[in-house]
Structure 1
Amino acid sequence: MVIGTYGGGKTHFLYSIREKAWGYNYISSYISLSPKETPFHKLELVYKAIVANLMYPQTPAELLSGYDRGIEAVIKTWYSQKYQELSAKLSDDAIRKELNSYASSLDSYESTSFRNAVKEAFLCLAEKKENDFTLILQWLKGENSQKNFLNNLGIFEEIDKSTAFRMIRSLIQWIREIGYSGLIMLMDEAEQTSSMTRKEKDTLLSNLRELIDACGHANVKNTMFFYAVPDESFLDGQTQIYVALRQRISGVFDTEINPRGVKIDLEKIPVEAVDMLAEIGRKLARIYEIAYNTPFKSDALEESIGNIANAAYEKKFEIGYKRLFVKSVINAFDILRSSEKLVSIERAREVVDANMH
């Protein structure tokens, strides 16, 4: 569980985890949880968000040119890689037979319907059955599709609140089988439970506990879940479900003392806050200089960044100071570019104050 105030760097932290995961050949899925579109107490909607945001490892150039995302992209890449592997050594007829044999030899997953769906989607690509592929993808995405058509393919289950966890576990099993290291799930900004009914909140907590408990089972191995929240207030309660959850997430992650801890508080990372902001500012300055073809004078730049960092940190008890710093330091660069004068501490405080509204 990742804890950080709004503007405290949760999303950036999750994106950094995604980049690290790609370096080890993990598929990732970043989803933004919201009370209306993706509430955690409705797992069937969470499943839909997960498969819609699956991303296999991609280079920075690929991300800038328009990245592939979603289970459809993963299936097409899976098929393309397998086809290229076989086409280097087999004739067209032999390729078709081998593709059919390969798809039929997929392991058993917790959901037979999910297994049959990814198998048949793969074969539809091999046989160029675009309409059938689309219908199967609708089911895999948690959308309504033609029931009779699906039943003929051995796809009998519906993706609803009773099957969503099973589908997520089957998704993980499939991802491992097709050559990836596993799945990294990044869930950002848990919904504020104050606006939820008691039943919805109990369901959310129950789902979270089930998710945590599932991490100890073999059918979700090579998988890591990051659940980013602004605070721990949603765990305030005296019933058994609250106690059980607090026990499960009480350990704070520390690489030396407690590497098995499950809680990361972004406000308590072992770095000097102002120094960290200044380092971020220097990196942003290099990007700004390239974007505007404007080299800064190093002394004025360094002092201006330091003043903005201190002014933003002074607001740490009022607002997410990291986001405030980023907004303010860009304004400072604008001032430096237009006037070439350093941003004094007084001017820095004015810039920061203006960005708080």
Structure 2
Amino acid sequence: MDYEDVLIALKSGNVPSHGAKNLCMGREKEVEEFDRLLDKVDSDEKAIVKFVNGEYGAGKSFFLKVVEEIAFEKNFVVSWITLSNDIPFNKIDVVYKNIARNLKCKTGTSLDHIIDRWITGLKMMAFEESSNPQKQNELVRKNLYNDLADTREHANSFAIAIENYNKLMNEENYQTAANAKAWLRGDSNIPYTEKKKFGVKGDVTKENAINFLEALSIFVKSIGYSGLIVLIDEAEFIMNLHTKKLRDIAYNYIRDIYDNCNLGKFQNTLFLFAGTPEWFEQPQKGIPSYEALDDRLKTVLDTDLEDMRKPIFNLKGFDEENLKEIAGKLTIMHEEAYNWKASDKINPVLEDIVSIHLTDASLTGGKVTPRTFIRSFISVLDTVQQNQSFFNDSQKIIELFEKQETPGGFGDDIDFEDIDEFDDDW
């Protein structure tokens, strides 16, 4: 793992591309529960819908990344979409297209890669069974057809397009084969004459999109993956849809997915929606505005005790133990990335640093926001590392933390003319 890349991403308020699981602090119970759920999705052919509730900066996207990393370890196919003007949930056909286009597995990205890797595997099996090219093609066709049996039940045209894609590739009709895969991804700009060549009519529409999504989940399971994980970030964007009718359509699609998973129409699939408290609580535009969905998700017990089996996970801020743990990990990473003894400078004042953040959070009635602490901590590590001769007094490090919330940013009252331009070890 490149620690510098991770630190730069975290300092910028972004989720690192790798290593999120190793940095996940204070979420042990949630991680353990999702580890368990993914095993059930795989072995018991379950379909599950879960929701993550957290304030801005609470680590929702970070947690989705952790789930993605666990899913890759367990051989799932994952698709991550972020709701926006381009991907509004009231247009379920657009949602399907983006899910299909964003598919990833541990060996690569795209639905194309997944299909081609599977067919290559079938060809390798055929080569081992026969040296006759005609017999090999027949074995591939037969095994391909058998693997698609369950997929065919949910969306026959989905299976037909894949079968004909293989046929077209054997015939070296690469353009039409490419159109077949584009159609599977939801492309609606393919001419009728081309679609006829790979045996389908029409396109993915709002009427059949959920059926196609069901077929996609069954397809990835049938060709050797553990199942499909769909991560839906910034779900609160639904509240930005201009009319109640559009919002109700979006919420009804979530309800459809929720019910279909519980009724067994989806298999080997987990949907995870992440949104802000406002989305879960706001009565005018949030989930409570659509009773049919709200009734399925709302808590029936009035208690603060944890229940990891509820539909909604609540991500809370960091407490003292979490802050110390993440600070320790970040310090070690910074030492490795920039080859210096960060702990010598930071550890003597770590209690004071944590205390400052806890005090600031208590003034607003909550725990420390993970993103706030991580960004400030890395910023100070960077500053101290590049100006080590200035920070020979631990009190100066504490002053950085005390002053970083001032209008001018951290270190407002420090005379930076006294600080060396950069130490040689940068």
Q: Does the alignment pair 1:327 with 2:360?
A: no
After superposition, the CA RMSD in angstroms is 2.9
SS at match of 1:31: strand
After superposition, the C-alpha distances for 1:311-347 in whole angstroms (9 at most, x for unaligned) are 4452474998211222111111112213333464332
Q: Which residue of 2 aligns with 1:72?
A: 112
State TM-score, norm by structure 2. Answer: 0.72
Q: Does the alignment pair 1:223 with 2:266?
A: no
After superposition, the C-alpha distances for 1:27-84 in whole angstroms (9 at most, x for unaligned) are 11111111x11111111111111011111124xxxxxxxxx32211211221222223
The alpha carbon displacement at 1:211 in A equals 1.3
State TM-score, norm by structure 1. Answer: 0.85
Aligned match for 2:141, one of 80, 83, 100: 100
CA contact (8 A) 2:353 2:401 kept: yes
CA contact (8 A) 1:116 1:154 kept: yes
CA contact (8 A) 1:109 1:173 kept: no
CA contact (8 A) 2:233 2:275 kept: yes
Question: What is the one-letter code of the residue matched to 1:86?
Answer: A
Q: Does the alignment pair 1:33 with 2:87?
A: no
Q: Which residue of 2 aligns with 1:348?
A: 401
Q: 1:257 to 1:304 in 2, by over 3 A?
A: closer
Question: What is the one-letter code of the residue matched to 1:217?
Answer: L
Q: Matched residues in 1 for 2:172 and 2:327: separation? A: 51
The alpha carbon displacement at 1:216 in A equals 1.1
Any unmatched runs of 5+ in structure 2? 1-50, 411-426
Equivalences, count: 340
Q: 1:331 to 1:29 in 2, by over 3 A?
A: same
Question: What is the one-letter code of the residue matched to 1:334?
Answer: D
CA contact (8 A) 1:188 1:229 kept: yes
CA contact (8 A) 2:78 2:228 kept: yes
The alpha carbon displacement at 1:235 in A equals 5.5
Q: 1:266 to 1:160 in 2, by over 3 A?
A: same
Question: What is the one-letter code of the residue matched to 1:249?
Answer: L
Q: Matched residues in 2 for 1:195 and 1:38: separation? A: 11
Q: Which residue of 2 aligns with 1:201?
A: 247
SS at match of 1:2: strand
Aligned match for 1:54, one of 80, 100, 103: 103
Question: What is the one-letter code of the residue matched to 1:294?
Answer: W
Aligned match for 1:338, one of 386, 394, 414: 386
After superposition, the C-alpha distances for 1:136-166 in whole angstroms (9 at most, x for unaligned) are 1221121111212213432123112111111
**Which one has the largest radius of gyration?**
2
Q: Which residue of 1 aligns with 2:181?
A: 137
Aligned match for 1:23, one of 73, 83, 98: 73
Aligned match for 1:290, one of 333, 336, 341: 336
240-249 or 173-182, larger mean C-alpha shift = 240-249
19-28 or 115-124, larger mean C-alpha shift = 115-124
CA contact (8 A) 1:251 1:258 kept: no
Q: Matched residues in 2 for 1:126 and 1:276: separation? A: 57
Alignment of 1:98-247 (within 5 A): 98-105=139-146, 106-107=148-149, 108-143=152-187, 144-190=189-235, 191-233=237-279, 236-237=282-283, 242-247=290-295
Q: Does the alignment pair 1:43 with 2:43?
A: no
Question: What is the one-letter code of the residue matched to 1:115?
Answer: A
Q: Which residue of 2 aligns with 1:278?
A: 324
Q: 1:85 to 1:132 in 2, by over 3 A?
A: same
CA contact (8 A) 2:118 2:223 kept: yes
Identity %: 26
The alpha carbon displacement at 1:220 in A equals 0.8
Question: What is the one-letter code of the residue matched to 1:25?
Answer: N
Any unmatched runs of 5+ in structure 1? 59-67
Q: Which residue of 2 aligns with 1:64?
A: none
